């Protein structure tokens, strides 16, 4: 699911809407930054999907430490989800075994139906990851006093990050980007709801509308078979349902000018964040990269390779609202190096490796036990597991060894070009 889809559907996952001083996006951009980034459109105070009620302060713990808990929680999402599922069904949970069983789904079945033994490097990486996640869950339970809940662990830490004071320059930059990330999500949600419009009907009229729809749906014959009479009747009911939905849609009052202003703010925010890619801090880089790719930042290493999004102006619903278009960084980079390419998929794996190596070059941990290789091995950011990444440094890994001569050639010059592109 794309971020845009998530923005449209996220009302279920975010339970509360509350504006706080900390989460107010107006505060996220200082006056100086506004001037620097041509934020000519004033920010509109929109309700954030984040809540800041009852957020533990986590005294005595630095902002950076909380940020790292937050990152670890993102990497542990798969572990936590699967463990919770196992607990719900009263099943025993062995993460390495669980992940190996999942891996079978992407492996062609052996002709005799047998299952190959788990590769030793995968076992080691999965075991180590499980320990880190358990350690994190212990911290989470202590801080948030939660046990076996379904609440989002990374969401809980994010709330602390939104409210906690940042001290060092790095912490301040991280906090700023966390707020931008939240602001981006809030803007998307608000833009789409503004386009969709607000109800002019009274609550009782809306209630009546839903009741009528329910009543009509109840009149349908479930299996009309080949009886043309029943089919005709069902078609009539469907036509009536459609007519009511049309009425419902028409009663909504959308605010296109406001939507346009919000899109302009979003575009400016994305452009401004692109300036942060010149950082030589790998943690800041990952966060800024996620925002500039217009992807959810909850999968730290999904930022390498090509974004799913073409541009703001090509986003369904926003076509006529974009004055200053924004193209995700990876797409913009490809457009720079190969302006007439007709097949962007061809660039994905080479760019993914080049960007990953760039991340290593600015100090990102690309060692065998580092987060990047763990992520690739266990399929934490992407669902696909890469056993070739398990227990190996990036440069010594089979993934790197499998690159073609041409890809190595391209990566070599892409790395230099990326540095210039990010503004270093």
Residues in contact with other proteins by CB under 8 A are 106-111, 337-343, 345-350, 401-411, 413
Closest approach, Cβ 364 to other proteins, in A, equals 21
Shortest CB 103 distance to other proteins, Å: 9
CB of 403 to other proteins, least distance (A): 6
Q: Judged by CB, which is closer to other proteins: 76, or 351?
A: 351
CB of 336 vs other proteins, minimal distance in Å:
12
Shortest Å distance, C-beta 115 to other proteins: 12
In the complex, the smallest distance separating the C-beta of residue 406 from other proteins, rounded to whole angstroms, is 3
Q: Which is nearer to other proteins, 116 or 142 (CB)?
A: 116
Task: Name the DSSP letter for residue 254.
Answer: -
Structure tokens at 346: 């061809």
In whole angstroms, give the CA distance from residue 404 to residue 410: 10
- CA atoms of 168 and 174, how far apart (whole Å): 10
265: left (phi over 0), alpha (psi -120 to 50) or beta: alpha
Q: Which is nearer to other proteins, 166 or 302 (CB)?
A: 302
- Give the list of residues 6+ apart from residue 232 with CB closer than 8 angstroms, or none: none
Radius of gyration of the chain, Cα coordinates, nearest whole angstrom: 24
Pick between residue 261 and residue 311 the one whose CB is nearest to other proteins: 311
Least separation, in Å, of the C-beta of 322 and other proteins? 20
Q: What are the structure tokens assigned to 47, written together?
A: 């309700």
Residues 117, 170 contacting (CB under 8 angstroms) = no
For residues 88 and 401, which CB has a smaller minimum distance to other proteins in the complex? 401
3-state SS of 313-363?
A: HHCCCCCCCCCCCCCCHHHHHHHHHCCCCCCHHHHHHHHHHHHHHHHHHCC
- Closer residue to other proteins, CB minimum distance, 321 or 411: 411
Name the region of 255 (left: φ>0; alpha: ψ -120 to 50; beta: rest): beta
Residue reference for tokens 């009663």: 251
Residues with Cβ within 8 Å of residue 37, at least 6 apart in sequence: 29, 268, 271, 272, 275
Which residue in the block uniquely carries the two structure tokens 């993914």? Answer: 352
Q: Which CB atom, from 256 or from 409, has the smaller least distance to other proteins?
A: 409
- Around Cβ 414, how many Cβ atoms within 10 Å? 23
CB of 414 to other proteins, least distance (A): 8
SS3 297: coil
d(CA 73, CA 65): 12
> What's the Cα-to-Cα distance from 363 to each of 285, 342, 370, rounded to whole Å?
10, 34, 11
Query: Please, which residue, 107 or 395, has the CB nearer to other proteins?
Result: 107
Name which of 106 and 320 has its Cβ closer to other proteins. Answer: 106
How near is the Cβ of 14 to other proteins at its closest, in Å? 34
């Amino acid at each position: 699911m794309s971020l845009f889809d998530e923005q449209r559907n996220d009302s279920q996952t975010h339970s509360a809407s509350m504006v706080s001083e900390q989460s107010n996006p107006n505060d996220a951009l200082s006056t100086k930054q506004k001037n620097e980034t041509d934020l000519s459109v004033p920010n509109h105070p929109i309700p954030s999907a984040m809540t800041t009620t009852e957020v533990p302060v986590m005294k005595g713990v630095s902002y950076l430490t909380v940020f790292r808990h937050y990152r670890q929680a993102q990497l542990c999402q798969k572990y936590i989800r699967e463990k919770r599922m196992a607990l719900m069904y009263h099943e025993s949970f062995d993460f390495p075994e669980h992940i190996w069983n999942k891996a079978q789904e992407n492996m062609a079945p052996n002709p005799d139906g047998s299952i190959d033994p788990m590769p030793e490097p995968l076992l080691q990486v999965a075991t180590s990851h499980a320990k880190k996640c358990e350690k994190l869950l212990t911290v989470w339970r202590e801080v948030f006093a939660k046990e076996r809940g379904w609440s989002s662990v990374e969401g809980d830490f994010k709330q602390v990050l939104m409210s906690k004071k940042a001290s060092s320059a790095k912490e301040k930059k991280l906090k700023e980007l966390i707020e931008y990330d939240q602001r981006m999500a809030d803007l998307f949600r608000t833009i789409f709801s503004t386009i969709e419009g607000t109800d002019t009907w009274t609550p009782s009229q809306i209630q009546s509308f839903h009741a009528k729809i329910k009543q009509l749906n109840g009149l349908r014959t479930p299996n009309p078979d080949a009886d043309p009479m029943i089919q005709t009747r069902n078609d009539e009911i469907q036509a009536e349902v459609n007519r009511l939905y049309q009425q419902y849609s028409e009663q909504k009052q959308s605010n296109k000018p406001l939507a346009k202003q919000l899109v302009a703010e979003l575009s400016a925010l994305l452009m401004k964040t692109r300036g942060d890619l010149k950082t030589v801090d790998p943690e800041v880089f990952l966060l800024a990269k996620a925002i500039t790719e217009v992807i959810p930042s909850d999968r730290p290493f999904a930022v390498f390779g090509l974004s799913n999004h073409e541009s703001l102006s090509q986003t369904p619903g926003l076509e006529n609202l974009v004055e200053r278009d924004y193209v995700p960084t990876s797409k913009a980079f490809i457009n720079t190096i190969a302006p007439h390419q007709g097949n962007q998929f061809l660039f994905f794996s080479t760019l993914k490796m080049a960007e990953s190596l760039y991340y290593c070059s600015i100090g990102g941990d690309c060692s065998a036990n580092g987060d990047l290789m763990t992520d690739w091995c266990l399929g934490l950011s992407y669902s696909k597991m890469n056993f070739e990444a398990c227990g190996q440094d990036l440069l010594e890994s089979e993934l790197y060894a499998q690159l073609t001569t041409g890809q190595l050639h391209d990566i070599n010059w892409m790395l230099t070009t990326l540095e210039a592109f990010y503004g270093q």
